Amino acid sequence: MTFYCHMPHLIILDASHNQLTDFFGFQPPKNLKEVNFSHNQMSVMKDLSAYSSLTKLILDCILLKITKGLEKCKRLSHLSLAHNKISRIRGLDHLSLRTLCLRGNVIQKIENLQTLRNLQVLDLSCNRIQSLSGLQNLHFLGNINLESNLISEVKEAAHLHDLILLREINLLRNPVQDQEDYRLAVIFLLQHLVLLDQHTVTAEEKVSAVNKYDPPLEVIAARDHMTHLMYQLMQPQVIFDSTLPSLDAPYPILVLTGPQACGKRELAHKLCQEFSDYFAYGACHTTRGPYYGEEDGSDYHFVTEEEFQNMIQMGQFVQTMQYGGHWYGLSRETIERVAREGLACCVHMELEGVYSLKNSYFEPRYVLLIPTVVDTYVCFLKARGFYSNAQMETAVSRIDLYAKINRESPGFFDNIIPCDDRAEAYHTLKQLVKEYLGLEEHGGGGDSSSVTPDNTSTSELSQSHFAIH
Ligand SMILES: Nc1ncnc2c1ncn2[C@@H]1O[C@H](COP(=O)(O)OP(=O)(O)OP(=O)(O)O)[C@@H](O)[C@H]1O
């Protein structure tokens, strides 16, 4: 091979498929940029510091075990070491590689790649890799081939979550493919993917993945509504006279919504007490056990999981929701019972419940009670004394959810009341309800004795009377 050193203009050298045992046994032509030594018999790598202008080096199928000697090849952007006997990735630190092929080796672990900041294409197919840890800092990676490895867990894809330029990944012939919904789960974890296992990721798949693993509230509500509608239709049909929908005067329901422990339940009870001629509290069903002091039927109807599921299947709920691992649901009968007394129903629920209720034929008024000072809200949560840190964090994080909906969907809530000060919040709510009801105060007092309807007796509370214009 020594004659090559007399070819100063040589740029590309293909010496593949020969029987060379010592590669680069010659003084390098200074312009040499691309070299292919694949299918030879060198097996031991040597110091290539004299080849600093190399940009592409192919050393496939030469029985190589160890990679070293490339430290000075600072211009090397394409390196292929496919089908060798490499068991550990070493000696590639700080190279400016854009493409690295290690296909068909015996690598078990992805390691020592974190300094390859420019890497865009990585081929690790046909190895023995089980975990994708070790790739998380390669922010320019756009294409990874991991076909025929030993990856068995979908959650391994989470290591690639921050690689926002990643568009193609191949996980064909890995045990993970046997997992149910494997493809959707990977698409959900890697939402920038364009090609997965050599098949285009469609927009429909992306939507299905999000709907499955992190469904938007609208989707949760639509599913909830569909479930209850379907189960209700399977039952003998009953006309609910008292809450029958009518165009001009829907049955009046007041929904207080907001994050857990924002005071909505307390305010709902207070309102129903003070305006007992107009409102009654609609107790939802729940599978959670009663807290200290809670009575069955007063705050909630406490039922077992089995009873709750039976109620769902009997089509008894208008809406349901899972919160904190428990089920909550507003039954048709709860609303009917209040309606039969000639009263409006006052309930409290989380946002998902509101979304679901908006799909039904009921047309409640929705009042959002929102904490504006997080510290004060946290104090309320702590004061209850039965929430774990994780539960409190969830509750706090949901404040933003309510605020976002309010910001982005004006009119979604009919009214918004800050609830940092419960007394003030109740005062505002009361004023609002009086406005709703068209009530007047005599003598400026704020108690129940001073509250009277403006033009109708309390026993005759009509639906149109409650309706807000
Ligand atoms: N049918 C329902 N649909 C949706 N959310 C509901 C329903 N019933 C209750 N919730 C809400 O579920 C959350 C958890 O209720 P739970 O009573 O266990 O907590 P809490 O600490 O007592 O909260 P709060 O004082 O706000 O009622 C509350 O925000 C409550 O308003």
Task: Among 320, 323, 334, 382, name the best residue to mutate to test ligand 1's pocket (greatest count of ligand atoms within 8 A of Cβ).
Answer: 323
Q: What angle do CA 91, 96, 98 make, to 5 degrees?
A: 105
Residues 43 and 63: beta-carbon distance below 8 Å: yes
CA of 260 to the centre of ligand 1 (A): 6
Pick from 225, 292, 296, 349 the residue to mutate for probing ligand 1's pocket: most ligand atoms within 8 Å of its CB. 349
Q: Give the pLDDT score at 440.
A: 63
pLDDT of residue 222: 94
- Cα torsion angle, 350, 355, 360, 365, sign: positive
Reading the block at residue 21, the tokens are 């045992």
Dihedral in degrees, nearest 10, Cα atoms 422, 425, 431, 433? -90
- Closest residue (by CA) to atom 25 of ligand 1? 261
pLDDT tens by residue, the chain, 469 residues: 666 667 778 899 998 999 888 766 667 777 889 999 999 988 787 788 778 889 999 999 988 888 888 888 889 999 999 999 999 999 999 999 999 999 999 999 999 999 999 999 999 999 999 999 999 999 999 999 999 999 999 999 999 999 999 999 999 999 999 999 999 999 999 999 999 999 999 999 999 999 999 999 999 999 999 999 999 999 988 777 788 776 677 899 999 999 999 999 999 999 999 999 999 999 999 999 998 889 899 999 999 999 999 999 999 999 999 999 999 999 999 999 999 999 999 999 999 999 999 999 999 999 999 999 999 999 999 998 888 999 999 999 999 999 999 999 999 999 999 999 999 999 999 999 999 888 765 444 444 333 333 333 323 333 433 433 2
Distance 395 CA to ligand 1 centre (A): 11
Find the 324 Cα to ligand 1 centroid distance in Å.
10
Could you tell me if the CB of 348 is within 6 A of ligand 1? yes
Q: Which of 265, 331, 333, 351 most suits a substitution to test ligand 1, by most atoms within 8 Å of the C-beta?
A: 265
- For the chain, the structural domain boundaries read 217-466
- To test ligand 1's pocket by mutation, which of 227, 348, 367, 384 has the most ligand atoms within 8 angstroms of CB? 348
pLDDT at position 461 is 32
CB 278 within 8 A of CB 343: yes
CATH 3.40.50.300 assigned to domain 217-466? The reply is yes
Q: Which atom of ligand 1 is nearest to the CA of 329?
A: 1
Q: What is the largest CA-CA distance in the chain?
A: 112
**Atom 18 (ligand 1): residue with closest C-alpha?**
288
Query: Quick one: pLDDT at residue 193?
Result: 97
* Contact (CB, 8 A) for 124 and 147: no
Q: Which atom of ligand 1 is nearest to the CA of 258?
A: 29
169: tokens are 């990944």
Give distance in angstroms: CA of 351 to centre of ligand 1: 10
Residue 53 confidence (pLDDT): 86
The alpha carbon of residue 222 and the mean position of all alpha carbons in its chain are separated, in whole angstroms, by: 18
Nearest CA to ligand 1 atom 21: 261
Look at residue 241 in the predicted model and tell me its pLDDT: 76
HSE-CB at 143 with a 13 A cutoff on CA atoms is 9
ipTM for the complex shown = 0.96
